[in-house]
Amino acid sequence: MKGENTPQIPGTKGFPRIGFAGLGLLGAATASRFIDLGIQVTVWNRSAEKCAALDAKSANICTDLAELSAQSDWIFSCLSDDKAMFDVLALLLKADHTPQIHVSLTTASPGAVAVAAARTRAAGAAFLCCPVMGRPDIMLGGKAGFLLSGDKTAAHAVLPVLEWLGSNAYYLGEKPEAAAVMKLVVNCFIALNIGGLTEAVAGLERLGISGESLLQVLAAGPIGSPLIKLFGEKIVARDFDKAMFSLELADKDLGYFSDMISGFGDFALATAVGAYLNRGISAGHGNRDWAGLAAHLLEAH
């Protein structure tokens, strides 16, 4: 706990009982972050072996979602896609005890979020869409950001915890899907930057100039940023095999983005990056890091 700086949650004595569903890379990092800050969490994952690391950190392990629901005031979930989100939500809503607030960290489609929020509200609870800005290592370091939307009362209760868990949290209003829209736009923007960096590095290297020199030039100018540094270094080093965020997940998010803006004009850059993603996945690289979304350009010479 953070002593005097620990946020007090409205309506509870200190922190509520925290349940966590979904222990992929980001989910496990988030649950671990709670534990590192002194918060007891109860966790569940579809494949039980992923609970082992958190069991070693003294998390309470549940064998099913009904048990998790019964032991939680707030549920945090971090799942792969819309279907997984709906599967878990259906089981939670069937349980005898419904947690007061469900904080969904899943990057989901806006339409799915709106449906999930309506179903949760009908059960007498609040559903908050809360996608994460940051990779698992950033979460563990306390530097992650959060985008939050949904019920205002629930959001104001959760915001101090998010700000304490990471570095910042942005409340985007009562429309549950607002945070999902923002996260998909941000991920598309990051993908466009990765594609541009890859083409720049590939072009330079074919002309006999090192990619590392490009990063130095960019860092010294107005375009220099943590994003350029993070992904640029991975591109130059061809460091794609230890995926913090895979091509398959990036492809899912870009697909949700494309569906979201369908009919609103010609988003040619997003289409081009989507083609890079599809080419990489077709070549068997779906589990590689999305910094390598256009790795075929780098490997072609």
Same domain, 167 and 246: no
* Cα four-point dihedral sign 49, 55, 59, 65: positive
Shared domain check, 67 and 194: no
Both 117 and 90 in one domain: the answer is yes
Domain boundary among 125, 143, 176: 176
278, 213: one domain: yes
Instruction: Give yes or no: residues 32 and 66 share one domain.
Output: yes
Domain boundary among 158, 176, 194: 176
- The reply to whether 197 and 64 lie within a common domain is no
Given its phi and psi angles, is residue 119 left (phi above 0), alpha (psi -120 to 50 degrees) or beta? Answer: alpha
Mark whether 61 and 170 lie in a shared domain: yes
Instruction: Considering only CA atoms, give the Rg of the chain.
Output: 20
Count up the domains in the chain and report the number: 2
Q: Which secondary structure element, helix H or strand E, spans residue 19, and what is its range?
A: strand 18-21
CATH assignment at residue 79: 3.40.50.720
Q: Note the pLDDT of residue 8.
A: 52
Q: Which residues pair with 149 in a beta bridge?
A: 129
User: 29 and 64 share a domain?
Assistant: yes
Please state, in angstroms and rounded to a whole number, the distance separating the CA atoms of residues 258 and 16: 38
DSSP three-state, residue 69: helix
**pLDDT at position 101:** 97
Q: What is the reported pLDDT for 232? A: 96
Q: Are 105 and 76 in contact (CB under 8 A)?
A: yes
Average pLDDT of the segment spanning 241-254: 96
What pLDDT score was predicted for residue 87?
97
pLDDT band at 296 (very low <50, low <70, confident <90, very high): confident
CATH number for the domain harbouring residue 254: 1.10.1040.10
**Burial status of residue 296 (CB atoms within 10 A of its CB: 0-12, 13-18, 19 or more):** middle
Task: Please tell me whether residues 146 and 259 are part of one structural domain.
Answer: no
CA nearest neighbour of 143 among 230, 224, 223, 236: 230
Question: Are residues 23 and 125 both part of a single domain?
Answer: yes
Specify whether 32 is located in the same domain as 84. yes
Percent of the chain with pLDDT over 70: 95
pLDDT at 204 over 60: yes
Residue 252 has pLDDT above 80, yes or no: yes
Query: Are 23 and 171 found together in one domain?
Result: yes
Domain that holds residue 291: 181-298
Confidence of residue 53 (pLDDT cuts 50, 70, 90): confident
